[in-house]
Amino acid sequence: MRLQAVDVTLGYGDRVVVDGLDLGIEAGTVTTIIGPNGCGKSTLLRALGRLLKPSGGQVLLDGKRIDRLPTREVARVLGVLPQAPSAPEGLTVADLVARGRHPHQTWYRQWSSSDADAVAEALAMTGLSDLADRPLEELSGGQRQRAWISMALAQGTDLLLLDEPTTFLDLAHQVEVLELVRSLHSSAGRTIVMVLHDLNLAARYTDRLVAMRDGRVVAAGTPHEVLTEELLRKVFDLEAKVIPDPVAGTPLVVPVGVRH
Amino acid sequence: MRLYGPSRPRAVAVTLTGLALLVLLMAMNMRIGDIPMSLAEVLRATVDAGDPGHFVVMDLRLPRALTGALVGAALALAGAITQAIARNPLASPEILGVTTGASVTVVAGVVASGSAYGGASGLLLSLGIPALALAGGLAGAVTVYALAWRQGLDGYRLVLVGIGVAAVFTNIKYWLLTVGDVNDTTRAMVWISGSLNGRGWEHVAPVALALSALIPLTLLGARTLDALRFSDDTVVSLGVRVNRARGLLVLAAVLLAATATASAGPIAFVALASPQIALRLIGSGRPPLLASAVLGAVLTAAADLIARTAFSPVELPVGVVTAVLGAPYLIYLLVRLRGKGR
């Protein structure tokens, strides 16, 4: 297990969102957490990325308690792309991606050629080399999302947590981002955990699905195991047919209606 | 392949030009006094210990000019840090509670000591007031920090709390000014508008010390300051201990502003305007630290020159001039920012 949540309780203030949850993320897999709005999937992802401290239980990174590891050390192994991240005004793509090198720099070695190499490589992998000097706000939504992923790549971690990386993107750009995620996985064996809303895209680009409702894991397994008509009822209150995706053969959810 | 990374030729150019301008402005300031000197005479009196003007220049004029430059630099650096932390171009050490805290304490001290102070007590003037101001500035900062802290330090909350605390301190200050003896309050007024009059080496030393320690430290923290411009989740995921980093940088800004205020009173607008001017000259993402400091020194030296020459022989407190120059600039900033939705 690369990353593990052991009996974690998560919340904001007095409000408990996730209560006593267990989840393990295996090395070299792409895992997607699905579930209705407010089910705690982003909260769980934030806890896995040590952005939120559990009020109970613990998160283990490679078997060690993540809250006891120096945060910089964690940042060299684990990259997190928060939901709808915002950048300071006027920042260029290259500036943003260069920020990803932060955990590798020290006060006596602030910028080195290996940093420059990592930034150039991350830009090339996300197809942004030509846009490096453009301010972020001039980019399209898809390009901007790729820039953020590029920053996480420059961080050079083999574990990536992406919170709704396709939000606000049209379908073509969603596919583009997920193809990129998939290639990051297949080219370097990165372990990736995402939160996604689109079940059909999740099924297609994911090794393992984790379905959550009310802060609990209802089902976890391959898309075929998880995305069943019964589960959609249980997790989303959704009546739907599940048929094979004519392109990929993965489960395809066709909604019938909402159960009342 | 092109190399990605920080390149700062423009920052270096602005900083060096600023330094040259600063030396010129300080020299022009040092011409002024009971015996006016030419620039050449100032130069000769500075380097030649046997020159008849040597004592005047070295013991009176140079420390005053240096106090102005160093205080301006310290205030501007504090402003650059504060604006970056608060992610707000309108933030300044004022919202950290430093300047207003110092003002209240000094006014209270002057009013409370009453006629004893009025009786030409040079010791209180030179040592007591800076000490009072330093204590008050630090106490004001502690107040703001304690009220703004809620499981962490949020830039937006810091600004709101800071504005509130500044309003309270300012009103206490005015109340003290109305109840105090008129002779005392007149003296207090000069101090709280920020003045370089009669500043000697004892005013140079604390600011020089603070700057020589804190400039290198904040420059080392510049990388972290860059990271802190992002939202907290991003900052943490980059491996920054966000509350500790923010706390240390705010502490540096507080110490800089407090020592500067102790030496010359709360000189208005230098901390607010210099980082923003530097930012526009260089075109970097956040206020540049070193260039802001140099511009703060230039601005203060220029303001002091105007304060001493514009209505000659009457000399204005330098803070009056920076306020008069700064207010339109503040309005310009507000107009420019309006409609941006933040």
**Residue A207 is part of a domain; what is its CATH number?**
3.40.50.300
Separation CA B49–CA B44 (nearest Å): 9
Contacts of B146 (CB under 8 A, 6+ apart): none
> What is the reported pLDDT for B118?
46
Q: Report CB contact under 8 Å: A75, B4.
A: no
Beta bridge partners of A64: A61
* Residue B286 touches chain A, beta carbons under 8 Å: yes
Query: Domain end: A98, A124, A156, which one?
Result: A156
Q: How far apart are CA A64 and CA A43, in angstroms?
A: 21
Gap between the Cα atoms of A29 and A34, Å rounded: 16
Per residue, what are the HEC states of chain B?
Answer: CCCCCCCCHHHHHHHHHHHHHHHHHHHHHHHCCCCCCCHHHHHHHHHCCCCCCHHHHHHHHHHHHHHHHHHHHHHHHHHHHHHHHHCCCCCCHHHHCHHHHHHHHHHHHHHHHCHHHHCCCHHHHHHHHHHHHHHHHHHHHHHHHHHHCCCCCCHHHHHHHHHHHHHHHHHHHHHHHHHCCHHHHHHHHHHHCCCCCCCCHHHHHHHHHHHHHHHHHHHHCHHHHHHCCCCHHHHHHCCCCHHHHHHHHHHHHHHHHHHHHHHHCCCCCHHHHHHHHHHHHHCCCCCCHHHHHHHHHHHHHHHHHHHHHCCCCCCCCHHHHHHHHHHHHHHHHHHHHCCCCC
Tell me the β-bridge partners of A25: A3
Q: Which residues of A touch B286 (CB under 8 A)?
A: 88
Query: What percent of chain A lies above the pLDDT cut of 90?
Result: 70
The answer, yes or no, to whether residue A64 has pLDDT greater than 90, is yes
Q: Which of A117, A73, A72 is nearest to A97 (CA)?
A: A117
Residue A213: predicted pLDDT? 94
A163 and A247 part of one domain: yes
Q: What pLDDT was estimated at residue B114?
A: 61
CB A194 within 8 A of CB A181: yes
- pTM for the full model? 0.85
Q: Any residues with CB less than 8 A from the CB of A250 and at least 6 apart, and which?
A: A200, A203, A204, A223, A224, A244
Mean pLDDT within A228-252: 93
Nearest CA distance, B222 vs chain A (angstrom): 9
How far apart, in whole angstroms, are the C-alpha atoms of residue B22 and residue B27?
8
Q: Are A253 and A161 members of one domain? A: yes
Q: Could you give the number of structural domains in chain A?
A: 2
The 10s digit of each residue's pLDDT in A95-121 is 899 999 999 988 777 788 888 899 999
pLDDT at A202 over 90: yes
Buried b (16+ CB within 10 A) or exposed e, A23-52: bebeeebbbbbbbeeebbbbbbbbbbbbbb
* The predicted structure's pLDDT at residue B337: 64
Q: Are residues A145 and A110 in the same domain?
A: yes
pLDDT digits (tens, 9 = 90+) for A13-62: 888 999 999 999 999 999 999 999 989 999 999 999 999 999 999 999 99
CATH 3.90.870.10, applies to B9-337: no
pLDDT in tens, chain B (342 residues): 344 545 578 888 999 999 999 999 999 989 888 788 888 888 888 888 888 888 888 888 899 999 999 999 999 999 999 998 888 888 888 888 898 999 898 888 888 776 544 444 555 555 678 888 889 999 999 999 899 888 777 778 888 999 999 999 999 999 988 888 887 788 788 888 888 888 888 889 999 999 999 999 998 888 888 888 888 889 999 999 988 898 899 999 999 999 999 888 888 889 998 998 888 888 777 888 999 999 999 999 999 999 988 887 888 889 889 988 877 877 787 777 654 433
C-alpha of A114 from chain center: 26
CA distances from B310 to B270, B305, B321 (A): 19, 8, 10
Range of the domain at A66: 3-77+157-258
User: How far, in Å, CA of A94 to CA of A96, rounded?
Assistant: 5
Check if B230 contacts A (Cβ < 8 Å).
yes
Q: Is A82 among the domain residues?
A: no
Would you state the structure tokens that stand for residue A167, as one six-digit string? 């939000």
The per-residue pLDDT for range A40-52, each reduced to its tens digit, is 999 999 999 999 9
- Residue that is last in its domain, among A108, A139, A156: A156
* Residue boundaries of the structural domains of chain B: 9-337
Between B37 and A80, the higher pLDDT residue: A80
Tell which of A134, A156, A178 closes a domain. A156
Please tell me the predicted confidence (pLDDT) of residue B342.
Answer: 39
Predicted pLDDT at B182: 81
Say yes or no: A146 and A166 in one domain.
no
Residues A57 and A180 in one domain: yes
Average of per-residue pLDDT across A76-88: 89
Within this chain, do residues A124 and A195 fall inside the same structural domain, yes or no? no
Say whether A51 and B233 touch across the interface (CB within 8 A). yes
Check whether residue A72 and residue A126 sit in a common domain.
Answer: no
pLDDT-derived band of residue A4, with 50, 70 and 90 as boundaries? Answer: very high
Q: Hey, how many other C-beta atoms are within 10 angstroms of the C-beta on A164?
A: 19
Q: Are B5 and A82 inside 8 Å of each other by CB?
A: no
- Chain B residues with beta carbon closer than 8 angstroms to that of A102: 223, 227, 238-240
Report the alpha-carbon distance of residue B32 to residue B51 in Å, rounded.
17
Find the mean pLDDT for residues A225-238: 94
State chain A's mean pLDDT as an integer: 91
B238 to A119: CB separation less than 8 angstroms, yes or no = no
A183 pLDDT higher than 50: yes
With an 8 Å Cβ cutoff, is A248 touching chain B?
no
Tell me: the pLDDT tens digits for A142-165?
Answer: 889 899 999 999 998 999 999 999
Bridge partners for A70 per DSSP: none
